[in-house]
């Protein structure tokens, strides 16, 4: 590999190790400036630099001068795609569009905190979305999250000497209180659900009684169920990525891969649903005058499939619930809310936080505790009420004894 050592005066030497040419024919390479007392010392330092270049420990000068836009592409290709789920990357790509428009042209090592202040202030303005509605705190947090990942990576890889985002005050955000249906609204929902198609009933019951995420629900196969033990294995997730279609991959976290116990009523509902699937397949075969050779409910088949046997859309339950709740004038139930109710009812019925966390497939018990703190506080309030009734009863008994 050819090399150059340039004496810039005042004991400063610039090293240059060529490394090919760019698309315009301009020579690319690795550059470093050092201080050395003489040519011999500079040559020794250069040899160390050359070794690091050969071993891939030094970034080319073109990389060191990357704009934020160029760095995002580099970060994705070299690091993020292998680390994050496809859905996460799709979200980051969408978020980066606005970041790129505002900051993408700036060199990543030259971005100042004040420029980030201006960017976040713009997101908070009334016309941020061009529809007179500013971004929510949750949406702005996504932009902050991605910028934090980019700047922290650039800092680790020594492309910049500081993370400008860390010099900004953390935004004050108010955590939005979840809207939870009353017991009467829950009863009304399930009463109406009993008249819905079996497929929709089963999807809702698995989300509620099993605590499944919609991505886990969509990726269930017939073979995941154990009829003898009344259990189901959760070991994959299906997500929809715009422009790419349905992606089947790992569960959200390692703890999300689990085996759940299901009520007998849910297992029987699945049996009825499977009988319906088989009868429908036989009628279709008879109508088309063909012999039904493939078992539509064999272990390798998707539980919720399309007519052609392909996996059902992960958003199918969302679509059903939105229409169903509107038509029956119900509380706005969602797949996530049904899963949330699963955790709430377990806690209310005496299950400890560790067991609830395991049932839901949370990565940490602390996350479960934070998510269901309102339920725990309600239970504590109820406990105080119960104890007050006990004390009142004791006092009453004492009076009668006298």
Domain span holding position 26: 4-63
Band (118; pLDDT cuts 50, 70, 90): very high
Q: What is the DSSP string of 61-125?
A: HHHHT-BHHHHHHHHIIIIIHHHS-HHHHHHHHHHHHHHHHHHTTSBTTT--HHHHHHHHHHHTS
- Residue range 326-340: average pLDDT? 94
pLDDT tens for 241-295 read 888 889 898 888 888 999 999 999 999 999 999 999 999 988 888 888 777 778 8
Q: Are residues 114 and 57 in the same domain?
A: no
Does residue 373 sit within a domain? no
- pLDDT recorded at residue 354: 85
Nearest-CA neighbor of 68 among 142, 146, 121, 170? 146
Give yes or no for residue 85 having a pLDDT over 70. Answer: yes
Does residue 125 sit within a domain? yes
CATH code, 161: 1.10.150
- pLDDT recorded at residue 31: 81
In whole angstroms, what is the distance from residue 208 CA to residue 253 CA?
A: 20
In whole angstroms, what is the distance from residue 305 CA to residue 317 CA?
A: 13
Nearest-CA neighbor of 110 among 151, 147, 160? 160
Does residue 389 sit within a domain? no
- pLDDT recorded at residue 24: 76
In whole angstroms, what is the distance from residue 147 CA to residue 136 CA?
A: 17
- pLDDT recorded at residue 30: 79
Q: Beta-carbon neighbour count of residue 264 at 10 Å?
A: 8
Q: Are residues 162 and 276 in the same domain?
A: no
In whole angstroms, what is the distance from residue 118 CA to residue 192 CA?
A: 50
Q: Are residues 59 and 103 in the same domain?
A: no
Q: Are residues 130 and 233 in the same domain?
A: no
Does residue 200 sit within a domain? yes
Of the two residues 398 and 254, the one the predictor is more confident about is: 254
- Residue range 332-357: average pLDDT? 86
Band (60; pLDDT cuts 50, 70, 90): low
Lookup: tokens for 210: 């099993």
Lowest mean pLDDT among 20-24, 280-284, 299-303, 315-319: 20-24
% of the chain beyond a pLDDT of 70: 85
DSSP count for the chain of H helices, then E strands: 16, 8
When mean pLDDT is compared over 270-284, 287-301, 343-357, 378-392, the highest value belongs to: 270-284
Residues sharing a CB contact under 8 Å with residue 71, sequence separation 6 or more, in sequence order: 108, 150, 154, 159
- The number of C-alpha atoms within 13 Å of 88 and in the hemisphere containing its C-beta is 14
Give yes or no for residue 202 having a pLDDT over 90. Answer: yes
Give yes or no for residue 365 having a pLDDT over 80. Answer: no
Does residue 366 sit within a domain? no
- pLDDT recorded at residue 2: 45
pLDDT tens for 29-55 read 778 888 999 989 999 999 998 888 887
- Give phi and psi for 48, each to the nearest 5: -65, -40
Of the two residues 378 and 90, the one the predictor is more confident about is: 90
Band (119; pLDDT cuts 50, 70, 90): very high
Give yes or no for residue 401 having a pLDDT over 50. Answer: yes
Residues sharing a CB contact under 8 Å with residue 145, sequence separation 6 or more, in sequence order: none
- Pick from 167, 201, 225: which residue ends a domain? 167
Does residue 350 sit within a domain? no
- List helix spans (H) across 293-372: 316-327, 335-348, 353-360, 365-371
Of the two residues 99 and 16, the one the predictor is more confident about is: 99
Q: Are residues 330 and 187 in the same domain?
A: yes
Q: Are residues 247 and 311 in the same domain?
A: yes
Band (390; pLDDT cuts 50, 70, 90): low
- pLDDT recorded at residue 63: 59
Show the CA angle centred on residue 383, arms to residues 378 and 386, nearest 5°.
130
Band (167; pLDDT cuts 50, 70, 90): very high
Lookup: tokens for 149: 């990942």
Q: Are residues 215 and 313 in the same domain?
A: yes
Q: Are residues 203 and 95 in the same domain?
A: no
3-state percent breakdown (helix, strand, coil) of the chain, nearest 5: 55, 15, 35
110 touches 161 (CB < 8 A): no
CATH code, 277: 1.10.443.10
Does residue 147 sit within a domain? yes
Of the two residues 135 and 396, the one the predictor is more confident about is: 135
Residues sharing a CB contact under 8 Å with residue 144, sequence separation 6 or more, in sequence order: 120, 165, 171
208 touches 338 (CB < 8 A): yes
In whole angstroms, what is the distance from residue 59 CA to residue 61 CA?
A: 6
Of the two residues 192 and 241, the one the predictor is more confident about is: 192
Query: How many domains does one find in the chain?
Result: 3
- Residue range 315-335: average pLDDT? 96
- pLDDT recorded at residue 158: 83
- pLDDT recorded at residue 380: 47
- pLDDT recorded at residue 59: 62
Q: Are residues 26 and 74 in the same domain?
A: no
Residues sharing a CB contact under 8 Å with residue 67, sequence separation 6 or more, in sequence order: 104, 105, 106, 107, 108
The overall pTM is greater than 0.75: no
- pLDDT recorded at residue 319: 96
Give yes or no for residue 333 having a pLDDT over 50. Answer: yes
Band (130; pLDDT cuts 50, 70, 90): low
Lowest mean pLDDT among 119-123, 170-174, 198-202, 303-307: 170-174
Ordered strands of the 258-261 beta sheet? 225-226, 231-234, 258-261
Q: Are residues 273 and 200 in the same domain?
A: yes
Lookup: tokens for 35: 């201080």
143 touches 98 (CB < 8 A): yes
Q: Are residues 264 and 202 in the same domain?
A: yes
Give yes or no for residue 397 having a pLDDT over 80. Answer: no
- pLDDT recorded at residue 113: 95
- pLDDT recorded at residue 15: 87
Give yes or no for residue 385 having a pLDDT over 90. Answer: no
Q: Are residues 189 and 314 in the same domain?
A: yes
Nearest-CA neighbor of 104 among 146, 166, 59? 146
């Amino acid at each position: 590999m050819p090399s150059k050592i340039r004496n810039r005066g005042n004991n400063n030497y610039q090293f240059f190790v060529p490394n090919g040419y760019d698309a315009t024919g301009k020579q690319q390479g690795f550059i470093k400036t050092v201080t050395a007392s003489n040519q011999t010392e500079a040559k020794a330092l250069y040899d160390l630099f050359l070794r690091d270049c050969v071993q891939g420990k030094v970034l080319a000068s073109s990389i060191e001068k990357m704009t934020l836009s160029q760095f995002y592409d580099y970060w994705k290709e070299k690091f993020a795609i292998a680390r994050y789920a496809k859905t996460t990357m799709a979200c980051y790509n969408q978020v980066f569009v606005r970041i790129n428009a505002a900051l993408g042209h700036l060199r990543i090592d030259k971005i100042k905190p004040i420029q980030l202040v201006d960017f976040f202030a713009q997101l908070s303005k009334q016309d941020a979305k061009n529809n007179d509605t500013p971004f929510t705190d949750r949406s702005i947090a996504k932009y902050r999250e991605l910028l934090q990942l980019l700047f922290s990576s650039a800092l680790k890889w020594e492309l910049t000497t500081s993370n400008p985002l860390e010099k900004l005050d953390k935004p004050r955000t108010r955590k939005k209180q979840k809207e939870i249906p009353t017991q009467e609204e829950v009863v009304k929902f399930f009463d109406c659900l009993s008249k819905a198609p079996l497929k929709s009933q089963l999807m809702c019951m698995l989300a509620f009684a099993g605590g499944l995420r919609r991505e886990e629900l969509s990726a269930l196969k017939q073979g995941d169920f154990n009829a003898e033990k009344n259990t189901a294995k959760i070991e994959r997730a299906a997500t929809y990525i715009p422009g790419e279609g349905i992606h089947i991959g790992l569960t959200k976290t390692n703890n999300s891969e689990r085996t759940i116990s299901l009520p007998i009523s849910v297992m029987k509902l699945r049996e009825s649903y499977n009988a319906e699937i088989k009868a429908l397949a036989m009628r279709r075969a008879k109508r088309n005058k063909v012999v039904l050779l493939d078992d539509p409910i064999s272990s390798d088949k998707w539980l919720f499939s399309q007519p052609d046997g392909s996996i059902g859309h992960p958003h199918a339950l969302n679509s059903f619930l939105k229409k169903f709740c509107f038509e029956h004038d119900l509380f706005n139930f969602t797949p996530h809310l049904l899963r949330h109710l699963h955790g709430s009812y377990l806690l209310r019925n005496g299950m400890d936080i560790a067991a609830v966390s395991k049932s839901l497939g949370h990565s940490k018990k602390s996350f479960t505790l934070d998510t269901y703190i309102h339920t725990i506080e309600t239970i504590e309030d109820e406990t105080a009420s119960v104890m007050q009734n006990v004390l009142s009863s004791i006092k009453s008994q004492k009076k009668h004894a006298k």
